Amino acid sequence: MTRSHAGLLVLLAILLVVPLAMDRYLLSVMILILYLAYVGQAWNIMMGFCGQLSIGHALYIGLGAYTSAALFQHFGIVPWFGMVAAVLVCVAAASVIGWLAFRFGIGGTYFALLTIAFAEFTRIGFDHFDWVGASGGLFLRVEQQDNVD
């Protein structure tokens, strides 16, 4: 085992144990930090490594969030399984956009316009789609929990 593999295993162990010792506030802050780091890495891959400006990241984030939340709201599907469905929906959307970009040789500024156009088409479509709350958004049921702290 190399030194970097050992470091990754230690980091993984810390990330698995730390949430058990944290209170809810610190856990929510940690989740937000990791989420924003994930979104930042998505931008880094597209612009930093591929050199393509993709302004449509909000499309994939929104589709994933709405898919998981709508499946929970309407069918009672556990969010963990909803996240798997969300990944599949986002992959399908990215495949369509990617196919169009490769098929017609779209790159550079036009790729940025293609991605933001799909993000806006989806936003406008969701404004009129009652299943996801239309323009008001989707409101999830929250069960009252006893505070044991």
pLDDT tens digit sequence for 49-98: 989 888 888 899 999 999 999 999 889 999 889 999 999 999 999 999 99
Backbone angles phi, psi at 94, to 5 degrees: -65, -35
Token pair for residue 28? 């929510």
Residue 102 CA to residue 81 CA, distance in Å, equals: 31
Residue 30 CB contacts under 8 Å (≥ 6 apart), including other chains: 18, 19, 22
Length of the chain: 149
| DSSP structure class, residue 136 | G
Backbone angles phi, psi at 72, to 5 degrees: -70, -45
Q: Where are the domains of the chain?
A: 7-50, 52-136
What pLDDT, on a 0 to 100 scale, did the predictor assign at position 149?
A: 58
